[in-house]
Amino acid sequence: MKQISFSEGEFSGKKRVTRRERFLSEIERVVPWQKLIDVIAPHYTKGGKTGRPPIPLERLLRMYLVQQCFALSDEGTEDALYDSQAIRDFVGMDLAREKAPDATTLLNFRHLLEKHRLTEGLFAAINTHLTEKGLILKEGTIIDATLIAAPSSTKNKEGKRDPEMHQTKKGNQWHFGMKAHIGVDAASGIIHTVVTTPANDHDVTQAGNLLHGEEKSVFGDAGYQGVEKREENKDCQINWHVAMRPGKRRALPDDEIGRIDEAIEKLKAKVRAKVEHPFHILKNRLGMKKTRYRGLMKNTAQLFTLFGIANLLIAKRKLFALDGGGAS
């Protein structure tokens, strides 16, 4: 039987459960750990040149998820292991008996995931898990995109802005960065497809890439007007439900036909509202309001992880119910 340390005993005896503890408890319950480990394991080194035993893969995966969930740097994640008993419990660390993995170890692990595009595999494994639970129905898709700002400063080694990011105008304001395009299951709100582009790529150009091929209906905002006429979408047997342009909607006549058209637009908007939830989780709960790395590849790798976490948070109540327990 493992003997607990003084700090662990003091921590377990406190009466109040913090929001961080509650959040990590939810992540612990909803993550399909073995499926994610199976994605990474074939690429994970079993031993190092120094002869020291490797850090257990699940521990590094848990440390990586802590980093992504709390928007921490590599050094910040290492510090969090020393600062927070809740994070140590989640990662499986006992500082009385072992040393925490350092920032460089986490950096190398992230580079491994990026090199082999494993975060895309993690995202797919999570969605496979949710599909097996019957939570992705695939009859309808909602498509949308969001801008993610990138640092525009040139105070760096190259003296230039990130060459893979671009600027675009939205309304009367210019934005520099990238776009995250997503296809969302219309029934559950779960993301099934992720595509990234520079910010100046128009939303409608990626519409066809956001479909999984089994949907019968697709919903999009006014930015997707004319999508059915594009060459790549002409052969798609899909009912496109694209929002009317705001100016045209405001000009609808106050008669029976105009009121019917307005009611249809409200129904479209009610379905499309589900696509805003993943963006809310991405930017407000997981802190991805700005890019954290240079280049599309690194940021895309991170987005697959974050959207995978978002899917688990969206589905958590149903997952809890299926596992026989209520939401905490």
Which pLDDT tens digits describe the chain residue by residue (328 residues)? 455 554 555 555 556 889 999 999 999 999 999 999 999 999 997 655 545 668 899 999 999 999 999 999 999 999 999 999 999 999 999 988 888 899 999 999 999 999 999 999 999 999 999 999 999 988 899 999 999 999 987 877 777 889 999 999 888 889 999 999 999 999 999 999 999 999 999 999 999 999 999 999 999 999 999 999 999 998 888 999 999 999 999 999 999 999 999 999 999 999 999 999 999 999 999 999 999 999 999 999 999 999 999 999 999 999 999 887 554 4
- Nearest residue to 307 via CA among 164, 36, 136, 119: 119
Which pair of tokens denotes residue 49? Answer: 């040149």
Helices 33-40 and 57-69 cross at an angle (nearest 10°) of 110
What is each CA distance from 221 to 163, 200, 224, 294, in whole angstroms? 29, 17, 6, 30
HSE of 247 in the Cβ direction (CA atoms, 13 Å)? 1
221 CB-contact burial (10 Å; exposed 0-12 / middle 13-18 / buried 19+): buried
pLDDT of residue 326: 52
pLDDT of residue 171: 81
Neighbouring residues of 63: CB distance < 8 A, sequence distance ≥ 6: 77, 81, 91, 101, 106, 109
Instruction: Report the alpha-carbon distance of residue 113 to residue 71 in Å, rounded.
Output: 17
Helix (H, G, I), strand (E, B) or coil at 290: strand
Q: Which CATH architecture has domain 139-297?
A: 2-Layer Sandwich (3.30)
pLDDT of residue 15: 62
Instruction: Report the alpha-carbon distance of residue 275 to residue 141 in Å, rounded.
Output: 10
Instruction: Report the alpha-carbon distance of residue 172 to residue 124 in Å, rounded.
Output: 38
State the pTM of this model.
0.90
- Nearest residue to 89 via CA among 56, 108, 66: 66
Domain boundaries for CATH 3.30.420.10 within the chain? 139-297
Cβ–Cβ < 8 Å for 287, 70:
yes
